[in-house]
Chains A and B, each alone.
Chain A
Amino acid sequence: QVQLVQSGTEVKKPGSSVKVSCKASGDTFSNYPMSWVRQAPGHGLEWMGGILPISDASNYARKFQDRVTITADESTSTVYMELSNLRSDDTAVYYCARDIYDASGNFYFDRWGQGTLVTVSS
């Protein structure tokens, strides 16, 4: 049973960058794509992008394309999300999630990290 454990709370200044980690345990890491989803306070879920660790192939939501970098370290079964040029409206809980694209062609997120609160404030 895979578990996703994320790094802790961050407080950042506008214009700076943040890097959040997500460590997987209990299952094969490299073969599953991993995504990052954020949720601003009182708002819904927003997909930022994802990566397939075994190939390092990544894709990003158009909205975040210029500011987000998602990477993976197979040796430590860890995925990272770095968001640059932070603004106050980037204040949110950031989740990692494991993508499932099964043999029937269904797509969904079956496991989620606990979330990391990033606060952007001067």
Chain B
Amino acid sequence: EIVLTQSPATLSLSPGERATLSCRASQSVGYSYLAWYQQKPGQAPRVLIFGASNRATGIPDRFSGSGSGTDFTLTISRLEPEDFAVYYCQHYDQASGVTFGPGTTVDIK
């Protein structure tokens, strides 16, 4: 079973700064199966990026995804106040189903 590791666990930044979040898989994964979600307190997650680099409908272009193989990155180019949240990467595998990374909290410095 593929294990996803996210780093850092917490990222403390100011509005306007750039955020770079990492997701590393325990073995090489297909980019089609890598997605990123944002979750705010008391809310369900919402998809930001699918297929490693495709923005979901309605997601601002300050969010971008990249990567392949075992290393994937979510970048928020300029943090807006509403972007302070927890971010999860997710992988799908036909054999073992869906796994999520442990999450990265982006909080206000």
Contact = CB atoms under 8 A, between A and B. Distances in A.
B54 A110 contact: no
Contact of A62 (B47, B90, B96, B102): B96
A59 B103 contact: no
A53 interface: no
Nearest to A107: B92
Nearest to A110: B47
B56 A110 contact: yes
Interface in A107-122: 107-110, 112-115
A10 interface: no
Interface residues of B, number: 26
Interface string B35-62: 1010100001111001100101000000
Contact of A59 (B37, B97, B99): B97
A46 interface: yes
Interface residues of A, number: 26
Contacts of B47: 108-110
A105 interface: yes
Nearest to A115: B44
A80 interface: no
Nearest to A95: B44
Contacts of A59: 97
B45 A61 contact: no
Given A45-B88, A62-B96, A115-B44, A108 B50 contact: yes
Interface of A: 35, 37, 44-47, 49-50, 59-62, 95, 97, 100, 104-110, 112-115
23 contacts: A44-B102, A45-B39, A45-B88, A47-B97, A47-B99, A50-B97, A61-B98, A62-B96, A95-B44, A104-B32, A104-B51, A105-B51, A106-B35, A106-B50, A106-B51, A107-B32, A107-B92, A108-B50, A109-B37, A109-B90, A112-B44, A112-B46, A115-B44
Interface of B: 1, 30, 32-33, 35, 37, 39, 44-47, 50-51, 54, 56, 88, 90, 92, 96-103
